Structure 1
């Protein structure tokens, strides 16, 4: 799903590279999550890290089956894909191998354990609820999107902007993606896939209420699908019209990014908020994305897919939104299986400070933990000269310098047929 969106968003000379990195995220993430990640995420040793399920040694058992592993694997590789977008178009292929393995096997799983494992210290399903509630991050605004965004933020900062992205005066030079059709196709595929991530996350909690096995499940699943749709749609339309006012024309890429930003934001609270609140969530997420993109350009921060702004900014807003607007009835339905247990809910709905406090703590610990793990890793790759490609390779395009040819025949015809040809052209131009 994500590969179409990312592949269409980069320049044609890097299309083959971005396709390969997305495949690598999946295949490397599979091995890493199997060997280490699932154990760290769902082992039940203590509230901070799970350690007793290495290489699925105890799967299947009374708690987990192979289907659950596969579902969680999809979340893990999504995190690596988010990070890949931030460092696209100027990163050595070997760096993707390293960070994908480390992120999916060791960093993301520990955060997932904190929030999603029943023994995690921030889990809303824990027997010892943090602040009496735990953090509600139903399908991963923080666990998935914020983790991937913070990792990508550090990678992009350490690498620096792409060659030519900003001129001598610090003004941004537009770099347009090469295939709008692929971006739109990828957006619709992501939209479809989000129905698996958000409503499908009831697999983690097995809701059953009130007095029947199926009624509670399907009521909650349907509501979650509706809130997901409304938040994304609202964000898309607000981004479309807002950008029209700012830049003077309609832009399909803007509405696609806005739509995904709305999905990212609602992912935390999709199961515990009313549809009207989802519309508000999408409205604000659109302005979060627009504002962060403006700020990124002012700071000369270069993220080819707006991954840090979109997944990080909208993911953070989504966690805060849940703390403000989670409805008491839906919190009970989702996390107490219909049993009337008093617990904090949305601050603006009269639920007190407990839930919003837990949401803020989740944001802070994710930022801190991912920063102290992924930041040094990217810096080490940088010092070892394994992170960024040479400038000449970047100008020629990663496809020709690293992968032996361009992705499109028409691009091949109008560009050098080999890296050697490119270098000879550069020498001829200089002479």
Structure 2
């Protein structure tokens, strides 16, 4: 039956909002590129920018051919663990406006963000062919399966399922776990299997600082990511015009605004706490630490952004900062080398975000986000808000499931690439720089002009017999 005029207008407004949000999330790819480029040494800047482009283009095809079906395909083969038949886009749009092309584009923008997180963990020492392989696998299979668990109505962790886990389902509104924890755990395995960069630790296991070459790009990337997060979190209200039963409320407008506020407050709090926390630890102010702190706060609030009060977002950001600081200290003690702190930031703060939601989610907002404000609906909510253990249990289940799934898939993949000698570049190429050794030139000046300068340190080390 043809849709009414009112339904058509509602669908049009929702589609415009969803597409605009997708564009904002895609802008985050530029933010990732700038953040990564500024955080690495100049001799690897071209390589890391190329990998960010590859994450987008390879992830697009992989997610279209395979990923979307694993995440959101429906049909006779539907199951709660791995999605359904391939080419899920073939039958859309349909009369119910579910899973149409705008929804695909929004979810695609999330999928390619995951590979960008992982790329940062293995930066400055990874063969380009390895990027192509793990980016395709991560975007086309590993991430979509987790997205199906939590965001598909047939997923076993979904809060919209007909069979709710612990009568609640896991609340991961915009992906602290689905996106960030997946990317962080994948990066953890990649960085661990590759080992630290040459010169990162001395013979006495002491860390040697390796600073990025351009703080301007790092700050630019941070603000671009901040801007994109307003599509990432508020945009996850994929329908802003929703008829709430038995209420005068016209939709998700208040939820959208509140989500933008909680996102801002969590990131800002984490940034200022990281600024002063690192000042106490290292004795000086560091803009780069603040940038990572801000991003850590955003990562943490992404799970519960729609279901917590603004004051709770401040709490979220405060503890996210200390999670990041603590994990960075631990990483140095374990000689774990992640050039962008991606595993600590996205993995650690993503895990905290899931737990935070289980503690602070407000009942009214949970009903609003997941039951369209239906009167009389009862759902588990945050433990500290009086909602019992159901939601927290589901959050812990999601956390453990993601860590286990990504470890069982990406760990063996990185190990296989390592054994085939197609994961890490040679020591000579690493010292020379990936731009020269793998891409025929440097990001800023001609390769022939830079080659002697980048080989100078290596030649000096060889002459001294070190």
TMscore range, shorter length: over 0.9
Q: 1: distance between equivalents of 2:430 and 2:334?
A: 22
**1:220 aligned to 234, 255, 258, which one?**
255
Q: Which residue of 1 aligns with 2:90?
A: 57
Q: 1:221 to 1:412 in 2, by over 3 A?
A: farther
Query: How much is the aligned-residue C-alpha RMSD, in angstroms?
Result: 2.1
Are the counterparts in 2 of residues 234 and 283 from structure 1 also a CA contact under 8 Å?
Answer: yes
* 1:27-426 alignment, distance < 5 Å: 27-44=57-74, 45-54=78-87, 56-61=89-94, 62=96, 63-203=98-238, 207-209=242-244, 215-339=250-374, 340-409=376-445, 413=449, 415-416=451-452
Q: 2: distance between equivalents of 1:272 and 1:408?
A: 46
Q: CA deviation at 1:208?
A: 4.0
Q: 1:320 to 1:204 in 2, by over 3 A?
A: farther
Q: 2: distance between equivalents of 1:372 and 1:247?
A: 37
Q: Normalising by structure 1, report the TM-score.
A: 0.96
Are the counterparts in 1 of residues 359 and 382 from structure 2 also a CA contact under 8 Å?
Answer: yes
Q: 1:248 to 1:60 in 2, by over 3 A?
A: same
**1:26 aligned to 56, 64, 67, which one?**
56
Query: How many residue pairs end up in the alignment?
Result: 430
Are the counterparts in 1 of residues 240 and 252 from structure 2 also a CA contact under 8 Å?
Answer: no
Name whichever of 124-133 and 201-210 sits farther off: 201-210
Are the counterparts in 2 of residues 9 and 179 from structure 1 also a CA contact under 8 Å?
Answer: yes
Q: 2: distance between equivalents of 1:269 and 1:150?
A: 20
Structure 1: unaligned runs, 5 residues or longer? none
Q: Normalising by structure 2, report the TM-score.
A: 0.89
Deviations 1:264-302 (A, max 9, x none): 000000000000000000000000000000000000000
Q: 1: distance between equivalents of 2:436 and 2:87?
A: 40
Structure 2: unaligned runs, 5 residues or longer? 1-30
Are the counterparts in 2 of residues 404 and 418 from structure 1 also a CA contact under 8 Å?
Answer: no
Q: 2: distance between equivalents of 1:206 and 1:395?
A: 55
| SS of corresponding position for 2:59 | helix
Q: CA deviation at 1:56?
A: 2.3
| SS of corresponding position for 1:144 | helix
Are the counterparts in 2 of residues 166 and 300 from structure 1 also a CA contact under 8 Å?
Answer: yes
Q: CA deviation at 1:215?
A: 3.6
Q: CA deviation at 1:57?
A: 2.1
